[in-house]
Amino acid sequence: MPVGTAGTVKAVSQDILEDLGAQIILGNTYHLYLRPGHELVRKLGGLHKFMSWERALLTDSGGFQVFSLSELRKVKEEGVSFRSHLDGTSHLFTPERSMEIQIALGADIVMAFDECTEHPAERERARTSMEMTLRWAKRSKDYFEAHKHECPWTDREIGKSGDRVIGKTEESVPAQPGAAAVHDSITKLTAPALFGIVQGGMYADLRRESAERTVEMDFPGYAIGGLSVGESRAKTMDMIAAVLEILPKDKPRYVMGVGYPEEIVQYAAMGVDMMDCVLPTRAARHGLLFTSEGRINIKNARYAQDQRPADPKCACRVCARYTRAYLRHLFVSAEPLAGVLNTVHNLAFYLDTMRSVRHAITLGDLSGILSGGVS
Ligand SMILES: [Zn+2]
C-alpha cells in the first residue's frame, strides 16, 4: 500500500496511481486531523471524494505519528496528549477520538488506537504497553461499533478493479450473457472495517499473548504494529512468525511500516497479506531507485551519460520513456519532475513485485521469487 500521508501520495497524481494498479492507499490520521481537519473533510464528503480516489483507503490510528512527530506528548490511560508539530497547539487523542476522526475521514479500513512500544523496551515496560493497547482496542471497538454508520458514505459499490461502480445497481445490470459475472464482481460496502493491532515489543511470548487476546475481540482483520523501529531484520521476522501462528489465516494480516522489496516478498511468503511503507516514495525523493539489479542512487556521476532506463526490466511509463542520464540531470538540478518520475518508477517496482508474488501464490510456487527472481 503506497502511503498517502496528507491525502496525497507525495508527487504522484491519483490517475497515475490507478494506472500503476494501486488498489489501496493509506491516509495518516494525525496529519489530516491537524490539516485540513477531519470535520472539513467530512463536510466535503469524506476523504475518497475530497481527494478523488474511489479505490480503497486505510487510515492509521494517529498514534504512531504522535509518538514520532509531536512534541511534549504525555501518555495516560485516557489517551495521549500532545502538541502539534505545525503550530504548537495542544490536542488529545483517545481511542474514541481516533475512531471519531477516522470515521469522519471515511476510510474503508480503520485502525484501532494503539501504543507503538518504543525500542528498546524492558520486558515489563513492553507488557504494560501491550496491556494498554489491549484496553484501547476494546474502547476503539466499542466506539467504532456504535458510530461506524456515521461515515460520510453510507454505501459504496466497488467493482473488481476497486473503482466505484457508477450507475450500475442491481436493477440496471443488463440481462445479457456475462451480466451475472458483472453483478458478482460488485461488492457493496455499508460501513468501514476496524482492524485490531498486535503489540508486545520484541518479546515473542508477549506478541503471542497480544495476538491471542486481540483475536478474542474478533476483528475482521489484524495488524502487527511496533516493528521496523530499529530492531534487526531477523528479530522482525521472528516477531512476525510468532504472531502469524495465532492470527487467523482467513482474515487479512497486515504488517505495518515495512519494508525493502526483498523483505515484503519474504513476509508475503510467510503469510502476510498487507504491508505499507513510505520507503518507495521517500527514497524516490532522495534519488534512490529500486530496480531488478538492486538499488541505484541516481545522483551518482556515473549515470551522467547513461542512456539506459532506470531499470531495463521495468515496464513502467518512466522506464519506457526516460534515460538514467535525464533522471540524474533532473535530480541534481532539483527539478520537481525528478521527484515525480522517481516516485512513479519506485511505486511501479513495488506494485510489480507484489503482482509477481500474487501470481506465484496462484501458481503455488514462491521459490523463484524468494531466490531473487522478482521481475
Ligand atoms: Zn520503471
Please state the rounded mean pLDDT for residues 143-165: 86
Q: Ligand 1 mean position to 309 CA, how many Å?
A: 8
Please state the rounded mean pLDDT for residues 181-205: 86
Q: What percent of the chain has pLDDT over 70?
A: 94
Question: Of 108, 276, 311, 352, which is the active-site residue?
Answer: 276
CA nearest to 273, candidates 315, 346, 220: 220
276 has catalytic annotation: yes
3-state secondary structure 209-225: HHHHHHHHCCCCCEEEC
Query: Residue 160's pLDDT band (boundaries 50, 70, 90)?
Result: confident
Query: Residue 372's pLDDT band (boundaries 50, 70, 90)?
Result: low
pLDDT above 70: residue 82: yes
Q: Ligand 1 mean position to 314 CA, how many Å?
A: 5
Contacts 24+ apart (CB under 8 A), 95-99: 95/136, 95/137, 95/139, 95/140, 95/143, 96/139, 96/140, 96/143, 98/29, 98/61, 98/62, 98/63, 98/140, 99/140, 99/143, 99/144, 99/147, 99/194
Residue 43 · residue 6 · CB < 8 Å: no
Dihedral sign (CA 374, 324, 1, 244): positive
Give the least confident one: 174-183, 273-282, 300-309: 174-183
Question: Of 60, 108, 114, 311, which is the active-site residue?
Answer: 60
Who contacts 252 (Cβ-Cβ below 8 Å, separation ≥6)? 195, 220, 221, 222, 273, 274
How far, in Å, CA of 217 to CA of 69, rounded?
Answer: 30
In tens, the pLDDT along 41-65 reads 999 999 999 999 999 999 999 988 8
Q: Ligand 1 mean position to 366 CA, how many Å?
A: 23
Q: Ligand 1 mean position to 73 CA, how many Å?
A: 41
C-alpha 127: how far from chain center: 26
User: What pairing do the DSSP bridges indicate for beta strands 156-158 and 187-189?
Assistant: antiparallel
Q: Ligand 1 mean position to 330 CA, how many Å?
A: 16
How is residue 19 written as a grid cell?
494506472
Q: Ligand 1 mean position to 32 CA, how many Å?
A: 30
Q: Ligand 1 mean position to 104 CA, how many Å?
A: 36
60 has catalytic annotation: yes
Strand ordering across the sheet containing 90-93: 71-75, 80-83, 90-93
Please state the rounded mean pLDDT for residues 150-155: 87
Query: Residue 167's pLDDT band (boundaries 50, 70, 90)?
Result: low
pLDDT above 60: residue 370: yes
Q: Ligand 1 mean position to 311 CA, how many Å?
A: 6
Q: Ligand 1 mean position to 209 CA, how many Å?
A: 42
Who contacts 27 (Cβ-Cβ below 8 Å, separation ≥6)? 4, 5, 6, 7, 47, 57, 58, 59, 60, 105, 107
Dihedral sign (CA 238, 241, 245, 251): positive
Give residue 21's region: left, alpha or beta (phi > 0; psi -120 to 50).
left
Q: Ligand 1 mean position to 348 CA, how many Å?
A: 6
Residue type, 216: E
How far, in Å, CA of 234 to CA of 196, rounded?
Answer: 24
